[in-house]
A and B are shown apart, each in its own frame.
Chain A
Amino acid sequence: MKAGSGRWYGVSGADVWRTVIVAVALWMVGVGGAGAIVHASRDDRAEAQSAVSQGRIPLPFAVDPYPGTYEPLPRTDTLIVGATVLDGAGQRIDNGDVLIRDRKIVAVGHGLRAGGATTIDAHGRWVTPGIIDVHSHDGVYPIPSTSGEEDSSDVAELSDPNAADTWIEHAVNAQDPAFSVALRSGVTTLQILPGSTPLFSGRSVIVKPVPAADVYAMKFPGAGQGLKMACGENPKSYFGEKGKAPNSRQGEIALVREAFLKAREYLQGWRDYESGARAAPPERDLKMDTLAAVLTGDIGVHMHCYRSGDMTTMLGVAAEFGFRIRAFHHAAEAYKVVDRLKKAGTCVAVWSDWWGFKMELVDAIRENAAIVDAAGGCVMMHSDSATVGQRLTIEAAKAAAAGRRAGLNLPPEHVIQWVTSAPAKALGLQDRIGTLAPGCNADVVVWSGDPFSIYTKADQVFIDGALAYDRSKPHSAPGPDLLLGRPEAPPEARAGVQP
């Protein structure tokens, strides 16, 4: 993708981004653009030169100075035959084949030919797109948790209710054992979100759970960032107890509106500068950078909210300032306001059965996902936990079963979308992952059986057409560094260590 040729987010079919030139971002400060956020690449210097003259340079806050270095694992072209295939787009293909070649899905159907690809006999097994966890704290919620980090965990920056200037990728520990177990559970994409204590909790990062020494080698090429926001009990109780604002729900909303008012001015400043209506550029403000990108639609908002009234209030704020909330996370009472969510085009990311442990969660019900779905809303499962994140299909299974008992029709080929194509859409990656459509990235899981059964395991996990984990060869993916050299660690922990 060339600088200025389009938006960073929601780009379809974009190739792997190449070298990073951080300086380009700074160098481009002060030159006008089209409101797009782009990665700076090896060729950007030359591109930028001509773009400057053509007035196509993006707004400076829309440039990512920290692009990824992800390199896919060696490609393993594969034909999976005879499986029960759930394609993530709502179809079920019995006794189906899936052909993976050159890192993409080539075809799904019957009687496909391998043409040199390795064949996996998957009779009696199931195949789905790779699982997507839209709400993870892997890499920032310390494992093991110790008193040494109790008051300074990296889940969120807690010094200010507006932490919109923080980027969670600057904290992610790629060595977190949670990534290794996520991969072994069929997860191929995760959105790492900051925690929900600040109102503006910070920018998210989208990663692949591949072995890596830093987060940049895990970053999903070309994927955008999100902004985590929070409403309700968490911000007001944390800051309120410290004698700071906000200490009430109304205080939270006032601070959010005030921040967006400023962001609107900030954005206008850049647009005026871009059009020549003002001579000097506005002073860079990292918090305002993020909020301006929300207003331009370049950063998707992922909003932690539980109560129905909190959600509709935040929909009101979004309408006032002209942005869309991609998804409410947790959304315990979504089933009470499905119409409002549908009208706003806002999805919900939910658990199957968490309830009751805080006041805004006492009305959570197990049928929440099913009701939102059946009423025409957009729903997905999320984990918020390295434990739940290993069994997102079980989350979907429990939520769907509750729905079926309430008389709703939820076949497996539909429900699998809650952990594949629905989160892909919420991340703006629906044209690249989340379904087994030809041309999509070959993120594929071969399950030992029905993925909605507690007895089922991920047998093979492909990321970008590479076999990233094979259960029959526990050493196919390295275990976490944490467990090296520990007495009698489980054998898989030492996988990847050369004798």
Chain B
Amino acid sequence: MSCPRASVFPGQGLIAIAFVLAAFVLACTSARAETIAVVHAKAWTLTAETPVENATVVVAEGKIVSVAAGSAAPVGTRVIDAKGRPLTPGLVHPATHLGLLEVSAATDTVDTGTKAATLGADFDVQYAINPNSALVQLARADGVTRAVSYPVRSGVPPFAGMGALLRLGDSGDVVESSGVAVFVSIGNHRGEADGSRAAQWELLRHALDAAQHDPKVVALQPVLNGTVPLAISTNRESDILQAIRLAADYSLHVVIIGGTDAWRVKRALAAAKIPVIVDPQDNLAANFDQLGARLDNAALLHEAGVTVATAVLSGIHQSYNAGESLREGAGLAVANGLPYIDALRSITLVPAQIWGIAGRCGTIAPGKDADLVLWDGDPLEPSSAAVAVWVAGKEVSLDTRQKELRDRYLPKAGLRRP
């Protein structure tokens, strides 16, 4: 039977639609515009060396309005009592493959690389990012609010392609911007097409030379004019020195990813103002490029004045446990000499600086994006967890597939749901 009421009361449908629309608009605006105040927080603003105890952090229109110790929440705000727990800026993962893979052993679910011979520096992963990935969901629940997702290889080595900046809200697109850096990979080449690391450096230099005279090589123009970094995944001392030389020769903004041997050339890196994204778990010679692996790499670099971000880069955790491993790595860096505050910055403010977004995120300060995480304990202890995550002032869902599996099977194991 069709819908007789629609013909009997022709106006009702329209009214209903209008109501739904109004509610939708209201919900959207209230989510963005709601003013909230997180009170009694131990706020690691990261603008100071110590946290603000008993802090009140006021958020409106998706931005942080104020941070002050002991102040009352403004009238009309929704108040969240942090009960003394730590509040940090949302974590910024400096180098992951979030949104580009689902089940890495099933290659049809993986979009991290291409063999297409016509795609090199311009291989752009923004077109593949999947906001509904279970990995993205878990990273968000673990406190990651921004991440740079990058490719591992293109059809034109040593280029891997262009990375995208993600902002992990829980609805809609997560790509905030594309082409945030051009990525290359040098060394440990396993006899692939480029054959020798000498060839890798030469191919890179030839490509930069050619692009200087050819504006049609679009991807490399912002690299050449210094507005977009060239991110070089490399580990051996000789390659890091080549990267420093390359940066000087072409006036590039270079970022080192990995940098196992970076501690050996820390002063040169500091002088060249080249930041390094270090894996704090790296202490075994995974290959001959990594004989210099040591757990205090981040601490030594920091001490020498190098800008250091940290992230577990090897194994599955870089993407599958992007948030948890980011914190565990930073905690391990503290255990090996990196000052606590700098370890917190190494997974928030520093990656934001490296990727040129520190103007809007990475600290808790008036005017910054209200991307915040409230933790149930020390955020650098991997056994701690996020209890609330806000993206642009909106509290996002912490639900994950894992949590639903847990809740389905707890009773079957004779246990109660929490």
Partner of A394, one of B290, B292, B382: B382
Digit string of B312-353 for contact with A (CB within 8 Å is 1, else 0)? 001111001100100010011011000000000000000000
Q: Are A408 and B415 in contact (CB under 8 A)?
A: yes
Let me know if A454 and B287 touch, CB within 8 A: no
- Which residues in B have their C-beta under 8 angstroms from that of A280? none
What 7 pairs across the A-B complex have the smallest Cβ distances?
A401-B383, A454-B331, A407-B418, A358-B105, A375-B413, A144-B285, A365-B402
| B8 CB within 8 Å of chain A | no
**Contact partner, A145, options B283, B286, B410, Cβ 8 Å:** B286
Q: Is the CB of A144 within 8 A of B409?
A: no
Contacts of A365 in B (CB 8 A): 402, 405-406
**Closest Cβ of chain A: how far from B313's Cβ, in Å?**
12
Q: Does A5 contact B (CB under 8 A)?
A: no
Query: Contact flags (1/0) for A455-476 with B, using CB distance below 8 Å?
Result: 1110000000000000000000
Find residues 350-368 in chain A having any chain B CB closer than 8 Å to their own CB.
353-359, 362-367
Q: Which residues on B are within 8 Å of A, measured CB to CB?
A: 102-106, 134-135, 190-191, 264, 281, 283-288, 290-292, 294, 314-317, 320-321, 324, 328, 331-332, 334-335, 376, 380-385, 402, 405-406, 409-410, 412-418
A371 to B418, CA, bound (A): 12
Instruction: Assess whether A387 is in contact with B316, with CB atoms less than 8 Å apart.
Output: no
Residues B413 and A374 in contact, CB atoms below 8 Å apart: yes
Instruction: Tell me which residues across on chain B come within 8 A of A339, comparing CB atoms.
Output: 413
Q: How far is the CB of A389 from chain B (nearest CB, A)?
A: 10
Contact A366 B402 (CB under 8 A): yes
| 0 or 1 for each of A77-103: is its CB under 8 Å from B? (1 = yes) | 000000000000000000000000000
Known pairs A365-B405, A365-B406; A233 contacts B105 (CB<8 A) = yes
Q: Is the interface of A mostly helix, strand, loop or mixed?
A: loop
Contact status B287-A144, CB under 8 Å: yes
A144-B285, A365-B406 given; 12 more Cβ-contact pairs under 8 Å? A150-B190, A357-B103, A357-B316, A358-B104, A359-B103, A401-B384, A406-B418, A407-B417, A408-B415, A454-B335, A455-B331, A483-B285
Q: Within 8 Å CB of A482, what residues of B? A: 285, 291
A144 close to B288 (CB less than 8 A):
yes
Name the residue among B264, B283, B290 with the largest chain A CB count within 10 angstroms: B283
| 15 sampled A-B residue pairs with Cβ under 8 A | A143-B285, A144-B288, A146-B287, A177-B284, A233-B105, A335-B413, A338-B414, A355-B320, A357-B320, A359-B105, A371-B406, A387-B315, A406-B410, A407-B415, A488-B292
Question: When the two chains form their complex, are residues A371 and B410 in contact, meaning their CB atoms are under 8 A apart?
Answer: yes
Q: List chain A residues, Cβ under 8 A from B402.
A: 355, 364-367
Residue of B284, B315, B335, B416 touching A181 (CB-CB under 8 A): B284
Residues of A within 8 A of B316 (CB): 354, 356-357
**Docked complex Cα distance between A455 and B280 (Å):** 13
Known contacts A233-B105, A356-B134, A357-B316; A387 and B413 CB within 8 A of each other: no
Interface residues of chain A, those whose CB is within 8 Å of chain B, are 143-147, 150, 177-178, 181, 233, 335-336, 338-339, 353-359, 362-367, 371-372, 374-375, 385-387, 390, 394, 397-398, 400-401, 405-408, 452-457, 482-483, 486-490
- CB-CB under 8 A for A375 and B418, given A144-B285, A398-B382, A454-B335: no
B residues less than 8 Å from A336 (CB atoms) = 409, 412
CA distance A488 to B262 in the complex (A): 12
Cβ of A454 and Cβ of B292 under 8 Å apart? Answer: no
* Assembled-state Cα–Cα distance A406/B20 (Å): 37
Given A354-B316, A359-B105, the answer on whether A454 and B286 have CB atoms closer than 8 Å is no
User: Smallest Cβ distance from B259 to chain A, in angstroms?
Assistant: 15
* Cβ contacts under 8 Å, B385 to chain A: 401, 405
Give the distance to chain A from B263, nearest Cβ to Cβ, in Å. 9
How close is A48's CB to chain B, nearest CB, in angstroms?
Answer: 45
List the B side residues contacting A357 at CB < 8 Å: 103-105, 316, 320
Whole-angstrom distance from the CB of B280 to the nearest CB of chain A?
10
Q: Beyond A336-B409, A357-B104, is A375–B415 a contact (Cβ under 8 Å)? A: yes
A480–chain B nearest beta-carbon distance, Å: 9
Cβ–Cβ < 8 Å partners of A483 in chain B:
285, 291
Residues of B within 8 A of A488 (CB): 264, 292
CB pair B105 A335 closer than 8 Å: no
Q: Are A144 and B286 in contact (CB under 8 A)?
A: yes
- Residues of chain A within 8 A (CB-CB) of B334 are 454-455
Inter-chain contacts of B335 with A (CB < 8 A): 454-457
Question: B284: which of A359, A374, A386, A407 is its contact (CB, 8 Å)?
Answer: A386
Decide: A359 and B383 in contact? CB cutoff 8 A.
no
Q: How far is the CB of B285 from chain A (nearest CB, A)?
A: 4
Say whether B380 contacts A407, CB under 8 Å: no
Q: Are B292 and A489 in contact (CB under 8 A)?
A: yes
Task: Give chain A nearest CB distance to B291 CB in angstroms.
Answer: 6
Nearest residue in A to B316 (C-beta to C-beta)?
Answer: A357
In the complex, which residues of chain B have a beta carbon less than 8 angstroms from the beta carbon of A146?
287-288
Contact B328 A454 (CB under 8 A): yes
Q: Which residues of A contact B135 (CB under 8 A)?
A: 356
CB B207 to nearest CB in A, in angstroms, measures 26
Residues of B within 8 A of A354 (CB): 316, 320
- Chain B residue nearest to A450 in the complex (CB): B381
Docked-complex contact A145 and B294, CB < 8 angstroms? no
Residue of A nearest to B295 (CB): A490
Which chain B residue shows the least CB distance to A401? Answer: B383
Docked CA distance A371–B317 (Å): 23
Bound-complex Cα distance A483 to B284 (A)? 10
Return chain B residues, CB-CB under 8 Å to A454: 328, 331-332, 334-335, 380-382
Query: What residues of chain A lie closer than 8 Å to B328, measured between beta carbons?
Result: 394, 454
Given contacts A181-B283, A375-B415, contact A363 B405 (CB under 8 A): yes
Residues in A neighbouring B410, C-beta threshold 8 A: 367, 371, 406
